[in-house]
Amino acid sequence: MKLIINLLFFMSLGSFLMAQEDLPEKKPSTSVPKAFLDLTFISPNARGDNYINNGASLKDGFEIELGIFVYKKIFMGGSLGFAGMDVVRPELIGNATRATFNMSQLLAGYRLNITDEISLIADAGYGWIAFRNRFGALASRDVYARDSGTFVKFNTTIDYRVAREFAFTAGVSYQYNFMNIKTAAAQQSLFNNSQFVTLQVGVRFYMM
């Protein structure tokens, strides 16, 4: 439901932006862009037998991605993402109440034009993820614990250009996190990884 609300918001934003443009530029162009900037709402969902999927509930977040075309339709870039999670089964993963996490990534990908308006982007990346776990402190103290790791991520988005430099996007990504958490041997396999399947909608600004 939140995703739908976000989508409606961006659609109305897009309509507003289009209304500001001159009519001759309204028609989508097939010219090759130099770069693009994505602003995306992400809805990560945990998968697999690991501490996050077993004991936490991921919350929606936000991601910004920059891609620069380096050779024809091949681009390289980076992204920054932020999201959160609530701990729902502390007996499985420890008694943090909630966490926020951020992700930074270097990526490379390919853009495929399907029609004049529609294109498909696929990219893969390697990045760093850091969780800040917060606690319901019993005293007036700010208590937190940090978890970190690296990840590989495979991402596919489809965009629909409504103007020469503006498009709506929707996509899905798979992310495998290699967590650095050390624990007893009996539960190491639960804490050394996590996996996300992320649905995303957003807008893309092309730089021509």
Amino acid at 202: G
Whose tokens are 């951020």? That residue is: 102
**Minimal distance in Å, beta carbon 33 to other proteins?**
40
CA distance 114 to 10: 23
Is residue 87 near other proteins by the rule CB under 8 A?
A: no
Part of the chain binding other proteins (CB under 8 A), chosen from 12-20, 25-33, 85-93, 193-201? 85-93
**Strand partners of residue 202:** 40, 169
Q: What are phi and psi of 79, to 5 degrees?
A: -145, 155
Residues 130-189 that bind other proteins (CB under 8 A): 133, 135-148, 179-187
Q: Which of 42, 52, 83, 96 binds other proteins (CB under 8 A)?
A: 96
Residue count at the site for other proteins (CB under 8 A)?
32
Is residue 72 near other proteins by the rule CB under 8 A?
A: no
Q: What pairing do the DSSP bridges indicate for beta strands 118-134 and 166-179?
A: unpaired
Tokens representing 94 are 């420890």
Binding site for other proteins (CB under 8 A): 90-96, 133, 135-148, 179-187, 191
